[in-house]
């Protein structure tokens, strides 16, 4: 019988044989549900001829499945014990295992080629930091299938106007279209996490509209959500170098009422506002 890390008893036996125990600090909740593992890989679409990056392969539940579908899999694992275990246990010719930290590794140097995918059951303590790195630094990846804590998934997929919509929603939706794929309850993991999990698919946007200055747009987005109960006018007034008359002028130009809150603005409105305010900023504050 072929080893499958998504099989709970096989996973536990392998970990015991290797003297390993799940490390809570590294977000090690291993997926022990074959149907969920199959569904995650399926959600990446047809992987024939495509290269895949997996963050945190753990005991290999997704890794082995990905190797059967993709032309090549890069799997980046921080835990030295798991990395060594995978090296001894997974024999796929098309797998490159890397011992490293997804928060620090030189991701751009990986030879992922065009039309690549990232598939991962992310460590929950670092989900947003890893996700933003992936979106920013891997432009040839057009599909991301990622498991994360349910509440983070809700923020990524939130439309404007609701409680979950914030600067993370705007940042992620600027790069991609988001879609919920699957809910995965705690008993599907070993050990069971304290939170519910959701698989999200992100499809990179071909950039129909882009701001003149991306960094400035993100400064503006962060400021717009700084105090959620404040109006857009008051929140933006806190940006050094941007005074109220200038903001009023830019808001008018974009057809945005000064009394609305940041959470009502969609990505296209943030882009328009960024382009309207950018030339009005006094001094060198724009680069902050
Ligand atoms: N993919 C496996 C699965 O689905 O069962 C394991 C998923 S577990 C939620 C997260 C994995 O990420 C663990 O293997 C953990 O050691 C690894 N990890 C934690 N922090 C990491 C980091 N900064 N860089 C790379 N891997 C990390």
DSSP 217-273: HHHHHHHHTSSTTS-HHHHHHTSTT--HHHHHHHHHHHT--TTS-GGG--HHHHHHH
Residues with CB under 6 A from ligand 1: 26-31, 55-58, 61-62, 76-79, 82, 101-103, 121, 123, 126
- Ligand 1 centre and the CA of 173: distance in Å? 24
Query: Is the pLDDT reported for residue 284 higher than 60?
Result: no
- Ligand 1 centre and the CA of 189: distance in Å? 13
- Ligand 1 centre and the CA of 46: distance in Å? 24
| Higher per-residue confidence, 209 vs 118 | 118
Which of the listed residues 20, 29, 78, 106 should we mutate to test ligand 1's pocket, taking the one with most ligand atoms within 8 A of CB?
78
**Cis peptide upstream of residue 222 (ω within 30 degrees of 0):** no
Question: What is the per-residue pLDDT for 285?
Answer: 52
What gap in Å lies between CA 98 and CA 106, rounded to an integer?
11
Please state the pTM of the whole predicted model: 0.94
Mean pLDDT of all residues belonging to the chain: 95
Query: Rg of the chain over CA atoms, in angstroms?
Result: 21
Residue 198 confidence class, pLDDT cut points 50, 70, 90: very high
Per residue in 132-171, pLDDT tens? Answer: 999 999 999 999 999 999 999 999 999 999 999 999 999 9
- Strand bridging mode 176-184 / 95-99: unpaired
Residue 281 confidence class, pLDDT cut points 50, 70, 90: confident
Cα-based torsion angle of the residue sequence 3, 4, 5, 11 in order, rounded to the nearest 10 degrees: -50
Per residue in 234-273, pLDDT tens? Answer: 999 999 989 999 999 999 999 999 999 999 999 999 999 9
- Ligand 1 centre and the CA of 49: distance in Å? 25
Closest-CA residue, ligand 1 atom 10, reads: 123
Mean pLDDT of 37-50: 98
What gap in Å lies between CA 111 and CA 175, rounded to an integer?
21
């Amino acid at each position: 019988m072929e080893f499958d890390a998504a099989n709970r008893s096989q996973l536990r036996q392998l970990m015991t044989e290797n003297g390993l125990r799940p490390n809570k600090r590294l977000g090690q909740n291993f997926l022990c549900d074959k149907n969920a593992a199959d569904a995650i890989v399926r959600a990446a679409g047809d992987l024939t001829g495509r290269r895949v990056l997996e963050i945190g392969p753990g005991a290999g539940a997704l890794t082995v499945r990905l190797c059967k579908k993709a032309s090549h899999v890069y799997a980046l694992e921080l835990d030295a014990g798991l990395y060594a275990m995978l090296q001894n246990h997974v024999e796929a010719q098309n797998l490159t295992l890397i011992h490293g930290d997804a928060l620090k590794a030189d991701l751009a140097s990986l030879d992922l080629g065009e039309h690549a995918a990232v598939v991962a059951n992310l460590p929950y303590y670092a989900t947003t930091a890893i996700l933003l790195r992936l979106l920013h630094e891997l432009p040839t990846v057009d599909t991301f299938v990622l498991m994360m804590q349910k509440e983070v998934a809700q923020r990524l997929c939130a439309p404007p106007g609701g409680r979950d919509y914030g600067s993370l929603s705007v940042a992620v939706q600027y790069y991609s279209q988001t879609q919920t794929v699957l809910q995965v309850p705690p008993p599907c993991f070993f050990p069971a996490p304290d939170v519910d999990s959701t698989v999200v698919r992100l499809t990179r946007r071909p950039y129909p509209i882009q701001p003149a200055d991306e960094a400035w747009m993100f400064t503006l987005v962060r400021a717009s959500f700084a105090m959620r109960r404040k109006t857009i006018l008051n929140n933006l007034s806190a940006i050094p170098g941007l005074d109220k008359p200038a903001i009023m002028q830019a808001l008018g130009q974009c057809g945005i009422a000064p009394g609305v809150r940041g959470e009502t603005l969609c990505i296209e409105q943030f882009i328009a506002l960024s382009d309207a305010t950018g030339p009005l900023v006094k001094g060198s504050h724009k680069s902050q």
